[in-house]
Amino acid sequence: MSKLKAHLDNIVFSHSVFALPFAYMGAILAAGGMPTGHDLFWITMAMVGARSAAMALNNFIDLKYDKLHPRFTQRPMVTGEVKPKEAVLFIAFSLALFIWAAANLQPLCLKLAPLALVPLSIYPYMKRFSWTCHLVLGVALGVAPIGAWVAIQGVIGWPILCLALAVCVWIAGFDVIYGCQDVEFDRKHGLHSMPVRFGVAGALRLSRLMHLVSVGLFFWVGQLFALPALYYLGVSLAGIVLVYQHSIVSADDLSRVRQDYFMRNGIVGIALLVFTVLSIVL
């Protein structure tokens, strides 16, 4: 059990709250109501498998940097609780779970599975080459509602791409704030990010812009799917959370960017999911 806990800590399993609600949201919009238990189960397994593989792969590839980073001294791979060979086996198991889940959904899911893994695979390397790394992470998570939509309908629909773009921009904006903490470390080790490229103040302005765009896109999702007014309460709540999150950070003070700061961002996805469900069910 201690080894299992170490692996779950390694992939920060609690952060599944960032993508999973949008996968469920995509499934609900595709079904026009609550999907079957079968579909929800295999969508969940696909999400867990893909995200677990992506996080473990990221930590495996970045291990040489994490060992040097003062903020990551307690990460399981840094402390040795999770060995590199164990991480590789965990990645293989997670990928197998993802493929198995895709095979139990619409046929197109299995065909598109390799494509969905592309942004997950290249993201760990992006900071070595480009400050656009945050956008690649956004794409990796933005795939979630598209995959869930395909799992229900068996085709890709244009409206769901709007939700995917909203998720992409939201995650990218959030990751920029996270990256502001590491600007000095990244500069020292030749890594790239928006804070390195534009400075912390400039990066925070870009993050605010991305979050403004994401709220607008979430609003547009409601228009595309003709959702009732109740849905927009969820969008408003998400917007309030984002405004608050930006109000407590600045270029001169990033001390509030802690674990609770990350988890509050999960309220965005949860709020939109809950109000989407209520909009369709009530």
CB 272 within 8 A of CB 234: yes
Whole-model pTM?
Answer: 0.92
Superfamily of domain 2-281, CATH level 4? UbiA prenyltransferase (1.10.357.140)
Q: Using one digit for the tens of pLDDT, what is the confidence trace for 96-106?
A: 999 999 999 99
Q: Using one digit for the tens of pLDDT, what is the confidence trace for 173-194?
A: 999 999 999 999 999 999 999 9
37, two tokens: 């238990």
163, two tokens: 């939700």
For the chain, list the strands marked E by DSSP.
none
β-strand partners of 63: none
CB 129 within 8 A of CB 196: no
Per-residue pLDDT, 257 = 80
User: Which stretches of the chain drop beneath a pLDDT of 50?
Assistant: none
Amino acid at the residue 112: L
Q: Can you list the pairs that 112-120 forms with residues at least 24 positions away whose Cβ atoms lie under 8 Å?
A: 112/147, 112/150, 116/50, 116/143, 116/147, 117/50, 117/53, 119/143, 120/50, 120/53, 120/54, 120/57
106, two tokens: 């619409």
User: Cα separations (Å) of 85 from 73, 81, 218?
Assistant: 20, 12, 41
